[in-house]
Amino acid sequence: MRRWRTVVSIAVLAFLAIALAGCDDTAVVVDITGVEDGAAYSEAVTPVIVVEPENAEVSITLNGQPYDGGPISENGDYTLTVTATLDDKSRSQSVSFKIMLGVSNYYLIDNFAGLDGFSTENDAALSHTTDPAFVKSAGGALKVTKSGSDARSMTRLRNYHARFVTDLTPYNRLGFWVYFPQASLLREDVALQVCFWLPSGGKINYTYPAADFVDGWNYVEVDLADPEKYFTRTSVDLIEFQVRTADGATAMDYYYDDIALWWRQD
C-alpha cells in the first residue's frame, strides 16, 4: 500500500487488483475524489487518490509541477493530474477546480461542454472548440470569429440558456475568462464591455480598456454591487459581452470560458 499524507490528509491508496502476469490496460485504475471537475471551493481542499494495482508507478502533478500532497489552500485555478504506469501501460485522470477564499454561492453558468443559449450581433460568428490551446478548463470554450466587417463584436448570453439567472441579487460578482491572441489590436479606451440588459430596454455597462488585457488568457471579474452603477440586479434579460478592436477591418478569433456568478464577502 502506498500512502501520501499531510496535516490536512491527502492519501493515495493502492490495492493489488491482479497479478502482473495477467495485467492489461484495463488493470491500471486511477480515481480522484475530494475535488470535482469544474468546482470552486471557499476553503482548503484535500483530494483523495486511489491507484490500482499497488506496484504501478505513480506520478502526481499540480498545474504541471510535481505535487507532494500538501493541502491546496491558496486562491487560484488548479489542475491535479495523476498518472499510473505498469508494464508500459498508463492510465491518467485530471481534475480542474478553483480555490476562491471568502466566496460563497458559486454558480457556474457555462464551461462550454457544448454550445447553446447564445446569440450574436455585429461582427461575430460563434462555434464550440475543444482545442486545448484555447480551452481554459475542462469541457471546451466558446470561439468567436470576428471577420473584420465591424469594430464591434457582440456575444449575448440569452435568457433561454439552460443555466441563465434572471435575478442576480444572490450574487455580487460575475467572472469569466477571455483569450485574445493579440491584445494590442483592441480599442484603447473600451476594449471589452459587459452589458446587463434590463426588461425596460435599459442596460448597465461595465467597460475595460485595452491596458487591462494581455495576449492569451485574461480573467475578468465584474463587480455587480458597484455603487456607481445603481444596479439593483433584480431582473436581467440578457448579458452581452462586447469586444471592440481599434480598426473595424481587424479580423480576430478570440475565446470565452467559465462564465460564473458568486458572492464575495469583502
Could you tell me the residue ranges of all domains in the chain? Answer: 12-101, 105-264
pTM of the predicted model as reported, rounded to 2 decimal places: 0.79
Residue segments in the chain with a per-residue pLDDT below the cut of 50: 1-23, 25
pLDDT (0 to 100) of residue 8: 34
pLDDT (0 to 100) of residue 37: 87
DSSP 8-state symbol, 258:
E
pLDDT (0 to 100) of residue 265: 83
pLDDT (0 to 100) of residue 26: 53
Please name which of 158, 173, 248, 160 lies closest in space to residue 206, comparing C-alpha atoms.
173
105-264 falls under which CATH superfamily? Galactose-binding lectin (2.60.120.430)
Sign for the pseudo-dihedral over CA of 129, 181, 173, 119: negative
Q: Are strands 152-158 and 238-244 parallel, antiparallel or unpaired?
A: antiparallel
Tell me, which fold does domain 12-101 have in CATH?
A: Immunoglobulin-like (2.60.40)
pLDDT (0 to 100) of residue 18: 34
